[in-house]
A and B are shown apart, each in its own frame.
Chain A
Amino acid sequence: MLDFPLWKKLSLWAVTLAASVLALPSLASVAGLPWPAALPDPQVNLGLDLAGGSHLLLEAKADDVRTQRLDNMEETVRQLMRGASPRIRIGDVSTANGQLSFMLENAADIDRARGLIEPAMQGATTVREWELQVVDGQRVVLSQTDAGVNQAIDDAMDSATEVVRRRIDELGTREPTIIRQGETRIVVQVPGLQDPAGLKKLVGQTAQLEFKLVDLNALPSNVAAGIAPAGSQIFPFAPGSGQDGQAIAVRRLGGIRGENLTGAQAGVDPQTNRNVVNITFDGQGGAKFAKLTTENVGKPFAIILDNQVISAPNINEPIQGGRAQIAGNFTPESANTLAISLRSGALPVPLQVVEERTVGPDLGADSIRKGLLAMGIGSLAVIVLMITTYGRFGIYATVALVFNVLMLLGLMALGGFTLTLPGIAGFVITIGAAVDANVLINERIREERARGRRVVAAVETGYKEASRAIWDANLTNVISGVALFAFGSGPVKGFAVVLVIGIITSVFTGVTLTRMFVAGWLRKARPNDITI
């Protein structure tokens, strides 16, 4: 037990010093000291509750994915039937109950219809996305499979995460974190941000831009009552559009979506002096836009953003060249936000903020200062108690404690873990509990001495007999640490990380290191009696 060959001593010191040195860059940065640029610089990350910043949890409205897929399928089916030769006539189209159902005017067309639709039912993957049923030989019912919907939600979330990342990158903040979480959620963490409301607007804006023809046949009384004519739907005007509280009916199909954009810039219209967003279509979008405007000169079309009508101007002339201008009730900021959102692409599914945590940078700095002060006083109290109680053995425990704190910090820096506010409490608990092992060992040595064992035998028995309880006690701590880690969101996870790494380092320093110290002293001094 007390035999430490040179190689063992050297490797223990190597591990201890290597892990402790890793803590130095973090300590230097807390103390405000410069760290030589030539040296590696592993740092303990500070959580948002210490560094300041915003944490957002975004949740997608999964139902919208379902509805949108159904709409897309309807449009596809209509196009396919119209494009068939001879044309297949259909009627009584409905998208209720998550199913697309329609009637063939001529039952004899069923096989041709089936032949056209079936290839369109298959997506990019092998997942079976739609089921096709024929009812009474004439009605076709297309229903979405769960696997298909899940696949679509999954794809939508992947691209939504990408879109959110692009938008936040445009803010130019340092090291934002954007991670998909679970099936329908995205976690966004932006350190040091000053404007959480702006951030929420940016990531919360779906930016689904649509251009749709206004349904001129709709009766104003019906529109006001919210009753849409067949083939049309009703959208409200956006607040501040000059027609607040009013609504307008637009043709459901045949419009253009904003996904064919190559650029969007905020600007000011030189004639009206209003804030506008200038958009540029790609080749395909430009062609579609030109076709729509050419075929409908003199008629109004609605510019719809996230299901609200921004404006409904008349098409004065065909718009060629793929450029257009959105004029609404914009401030310079909101025009810029919209431009960023449009540039980075629309969110394939609307996102809502379901949790927000924002901490100002001053508060975080204050927490660190107070935490460090408390940690210093606490450590000092523990050290005084240990030395007055165990003398020389208390000094060994103190040295072990100092290395424990350094190694804990060093390993956190090495592993890229995050120190959070509860993590500070974790540090203090670790300091208070790390000497537990030494207490158990030293009390046992006392006891064995009192029973009359010789010094070396008492120390050996002390380490041997105490290690069983030390092991059991620390393992229960690890169990609760794992439960903590599994339970917690960010700050609580930070607490768990400190506790679990602290348990590992404290067993190493409290048991192994002190045993090396004690063994070295016993070998050199060969005392007949010890004060403990």
Chain B
Amino acid sequence: MKLLKLVPDNTNIKFLNLRVPFFVLSLVLIFGSWAAVAVNGLNFGVDFAGGQEVRMTFKERPAAPIASLRELVGGLGYGEPVVQEFGAPNQVSIRVALPEGTENTPGAATAIGDKVIATIIKTYPDARRDGNDTVSGKVAGEFRNQAIIALLAAMTAVAAYIWVRFEWQFGAGAMFALVHDVSVTVGLFAVTQMEFSLQIVAAILAIIGYSLNDTIVVYDRIRENLKKYRKMPLPELLDLSVNETLARTVMTSLTLFIALIPLLIFGPESLFGMVAAITVGLFIGTYSSIYMAGALLIWMGVTSNSFVPTESALDRQDKLARGEG
């Protein structure tokens, strides 16, 4: 039986020849993402902005009366609500921001939530409350701080682990790859204005763990080859390592992609943003493993000596055997 080989044997793509253009592309992506966040801002959901979000199904209607709902909820005096279809045409999500000056009255958010639900059910008796999230300003502020701390802590811890297991250059390379992957994923949410919630932060934390898997495989091979071919010029050695591990990099990303895509298409609507973030983050992570992980090492001056700073007992035996000792 002939088995499938996604990456042919002896593939030898000169990735490192293109390191400058791709590095520029990555920088453009990173700064572009930051600019998008600065200009567009993130569309914070109730988790981070406070306020309340109600999800309702209109059981006896083919489509939800979106325009009328906007008017109805808008008329309650809590500002302009965001009313969108959610899942099916007769399902909506209604988001009402926290009014100004309610940061210090924690009970305000739930009171507004109850009012909105009661008003809608009174006008549309066939409306069914599917769920609601209500977050006070204080709790939302705490979520924001926690999210930032968790992201920074996870990135630092992962990079530190790589530093301990490899060399500082690899740790720095991993940190750059993480900043790259996280920035671009967040940037995507700034550009598309998809809702940015706790789940999205959870997705990014998962990306921090998984996007480096490919990078680690490449680094592990670079380390192995640095010990094996001490005389090989670095760019050539890095290309060799990336190519040798290419089949692996592609396959491991691919298995995760094909598992995630059905969840994106057929899965629950409430998971869409989260799964989209993970999928995109993974894609970006694969790209950074192939193009960035190696290139950065050249600029940071990794040599074979990075791994053999002192001669090991085995080396000494080798030397003695060769009569050099």
Contacts and interface: CB of A to CB of B under 8 A. Distances in A.
A421 B110 contact: no
Interface string A471-512: 011011111110110111101100110010000000000000
Contact of B274 (A422, A443, A486): A422
B263 A385 contact: no
Nearest to B133: A357
Contacts of A357: 131-134
Contact of A355 (B134, B216, B244, B258): B134
Interface string B235-270: 000000000110110011011111111110111101
Nearest to B221: A469
A440 B218 CA distance: 11
A109 interface: no
Contacts of B244: 447
B126 to A, nearest CB: 14
A373 B268 CA distance: 10
B3 interface: yes
Given A352-B106, A433-B256, A492-B198, A472 B165 contact: yes
Q: Which of B252, B254, B259, B267 has the most chain A CB within a 10 Å cutoff?
A: B259
Contacts of A424: 263, 267-268, 271
Contact of A472 (B134, B146, B206, B220): B220
A439 interface: yes
A439 B248 contact: yes
B205 interface: yes
Given A386-B255, A469-B217, A378 B212 contact: no
Contacts of B129: 358, 360
Nearest to A434: B255
Nearest to A52: B131
A483 B198 contact: no
A473 B106 CA distance: 43
Nearest to A367: B268
Given A200-B110, A432-B256, A435-B255, A488 B202 contact: yes
A377 B128 CA distance: 31
B96 interface: no
A371 interface: yes
A391 B2 CA distance: 9
Interface in B246-305: 247-248, 251-252, 254-263, 265-268, 270-271, 274-275, 278
A20 to B, nearest CB: 20
A353 B260 contact: no
B6 interface: yes
A476 B256 contact: no
Interface of A, secondary structure class, is helix
- Interface majority SS (helix, strand, loop, mixed), chain B: helix
B158 interface: yes
Contacts of B44: none
Contacts of A450: 9
Contacts of A421: 268, 270-271
Contacts of A425: 203, 263, 267, 271, 274-275, 278
A291 interface: no
A49 B319 CA distance: 65
Interface in A431-478: 431-433, 435-436, 439-440, 443, 446-447, 450, 465, 468-469, 472-473, 475-478
A487 B213 contact: no
Contact of B202 (A362, A422, A436): A422
Interface string A183-220: 00000000000001100100010000000000000000
Contacts of B154: 479-480, 483-484
Contacts of A353: 106-107, 110, 134, 136
A366 interface: yes
Contacts of A487: 146-147, 149-150, 201-202, 205
Contact of B107 (A196, A352, A386, A484): A352
Contact of B209 (A373, A382, A435, A479): A479
B45 interface: no
Contacts of A431: 259
Contacts of A407: none
Contacts of B3: 388-391, 531-532
Given A483-B205, A487-B147, A381 B266 contact: no
B180 to A, nearest CB: 16
A182 B6 CA distance: 52
B97 interface: no
A381 B262 contact: yes
A469 B271 contact: no
Interface string A363-390: 1001100110111011101100110111
Nearest to A58: B106
B199 interface: yes
A476 B139 contact: no
Contacts of B209: 476-481, 499
Given A354-B139, A359-B131, A389-B4, A488 B198 contact: yes
Given A424-B263, A429-B210, 15 more contacts: A197-B114, A354-B135, A354-B136, A355-B135, A374-B267, A378-B263, A381-B261, A382-B255, A385-B258, A390-B3, A421-B271, A429-B259, A483-B150, A484-B206, A487-B201
Interface of B: 1, 3-6, 9, 55, 57, 106-107, 109-110, 113-114, 117-118, 128-136, 138-139, 146-147, 149-150, 153-154, 157-158, 161-162, 165, 198-199, 201-203, 205-206, 208-210, 212-213, 216-217, 220-221, 224, 244-245, 247-248, 251-252, 254-263, 265-268, 270-271, 274-275, 278
